[in-house]
Amino acid sequence: LQYIWLDIMKLLRAVVFIFLLIGLFYLEASRMFVVDTSIHFSILYPIGVLLCSLFIVKSGGVFLDRNNRGILLLVVWLYIITLLHSVFTPLPAKYCYVTLILPSICLYLPQKLLNSNFNQKYFDRGNIVVFVLLLFYYFHNYQNNIFIDIDSQNNSAYTVLFFAPILLCINNKYIRYVVLFLTGIALFFSLKRSGIAAFSLGLVAFLYFTIKTSITQKNKFIYLIFICICLYSSLVLLQSILGERADLLSNRFTQLDDSGSGRDEIYKATWKLIGENSIMDFVIGHGYGGVLKNSPLACSAHNDYLEFLYDYGVIGLALLLSFMLKFGRLVIGLIRKKSNYAAPAAFTFVVVLINSCFSHVFYYEWYLLLIAIFWGYLNWNVKKESVVGQ
């Protein structure tokens, strides 16, 4: 009877995992474009992901990874502050009550699912399918980007960028390189300077630490030549694919006298808001979207650290900085151990660090959700690697 029950639970987890992936795709796809597309946002998507996640986490045992505490505390704190302020200032939409707490639950999905004897290959293949669907959706709706003013390009490619680290945790070099190549194409089409810069520097970090940690001294020179040839070929191919958009991209980088698309004015306005804070404001902040609500420019801070200081107070900022420091220490530790996951971790750290300084990663909960899943999967793989290596 016990074996029958275990088989039933295994089948249920597989079915729930499929529904989870469907919900995740629709949730992320519905937040990609600022204009209407075939997928409109619905509260059913986050609720579906929440229910599926709760089932998987609840049925996966009680063990909790201590390495997840940093991001867990961060999400819980911002959720508590959001609820506190929502008593006086309603949230912009009811779905925020669900989406803002999702990262703290999905953080444990990889660990809970894979520790319950769920086949890792199915987990990886499921995420690959979602990634491919998001890529297809991005390029299928790319005409929406073309008709938007160049100075106001939306962040649709960032969904692909922040989903990629989950697949980089797959211990298969061919999958990793294909994911990086496809992500790079999506980013270059987006014309987002900070995103392209973050990806490019992240790619350099990925390649460098791949060479440093997994390539033998004898093969390093050959590998380096191969990488140079591939990068040059990729640039030629991208220029051919981009066509006239290549000139637009070039102009975006050469004409940097626009003060980062007005970011200097945004930062000044945000600092002014912070300077007007009372002591209580510094402690508990102004709640979700505080800068957007109170800024005379009617936009977010375009910097996660300024945003968190104003929205969630010094405690929120301290928790964010603490997580980033922990992330950095993890990357250094993996590099020293010559881990197979050092390069994916370094890539993600660089991408998150740069984008959090010039755009948003943690402020947008649909991006934070992907970072949380990546973090959980990375730590699960690292633990598995250390056990196998003993």
Task: Supply the pTM of this predicted model.
Answer: 0.91
Residue 238 pLDDT level (bands cut at 50, 70, 90) = low
Query: CA angle, 352 as apex, 380 and 122 as ends, to 5°?
Result: 35
- Residue 221 is predicted with a pLDDT of 65
Q: What is the CA radius of gyration of the chain?
A: 21
One DSSP character per residue, 1-44 reads -HHHHHHHHHHHHHHHHHHHHHHHHHHHHHTT-SS--S----TH
pLDDT band at residue 153 under the 50/70/90 scheme:
very low
The tokens describing 357, both together, are: 């300084």
Rama region for 62: left / alpha / beta (φ>0; ψ in -120 to 50; rest) = alpha
198, containing H or E segment: helix 193-214
Q: Are 263 and 317 a contacting pair, CB within 8 Å?
A: no
* pLDDT bracket for residue 61 (50, 70, 90): low
Spell out the residues 6+ positions from residue 116 whose beta carbon is closer than 8 angstroms to its own.
9, 10, 13, 59, 60, 61
Please state the rounded mean pLDDT for residues 112-122: 91
* Burial of residue 199, with CB atoms counted within 10 A of its CB: 0-12 exposed, 13-18 middle, 19 or more buried: buried
Over residues 58-64, the mean pLDDT reads: 71
Lowest-confidence segment of 4-8, 32-36, 61-65, 272-276 by average pLDDT: 61-65
Question: pLDDT averaged over the chain?
Answer: 87
Q: Which residues are within 8 A (CB) of 375 and not within 5 positions of it... i.e. 6 or more apart?
A: 68, 71, 107
Beta-carbon contacts of residue 82 (< 8 Å; ≥ 6 apart) = 91, 96, 100, 287, 288
pLDDT surpasses 60 at 355: yes
Tell me the pLDDT band of 151, cut-offs 50, 70 and 90.
very low
For residue 378, what pLDDT is reported? 97
Q: Taking residues 194-223, report their average pLDDT.
A: 81
69-83, 102-116, 133-147, 198-212: which has the minimum mean pLDDT? 133-147
Q: Count CA atoms within 13 Å of residue 360 on its CB side.
A: 21
Angle 213-347-197 from CA coordinates, rounded to 5°: 135
pLDDT tens-digit readout, 246-268: 555 555 555 555 555 678 899 99
Query: Within 13 Å and on the Cβ side, how many CA atoms surround 268?
Result: 6
Nearest-angstrom CA–CA distance, 52 and 42: 16
Q: How far is C-alpha 307 from the geometric centre of its chain's CA atoms?
A: 17
Is the per-residue pLDDT at 148 higher than 90?
no
The C-alpha atoms of residue 20 and residue 17 are separated, in whole angstroms, by: 5
pLDDT at 38: 83
Examine the pLDDT at 376 and tell me if it is beyond 50.
yes
pLDDT of residue 156: 86
Residue 69 has pLDDT above 80, yes or no: yes
| CB 291, CB 284: distance < 8 Å | no
The answer, yes or no, to whether residue 276 has pLDDT greater than 60, is yes
Q: Residue range 23-31: average pLDDT?
A: 95
Q: Which of 15-24, 46-55, 206-215 has the lowest mean pLDDT?
A: 206-215
Q: Look at residue 130 and tell me whether its pLDDT is greater than 60.
A: yes
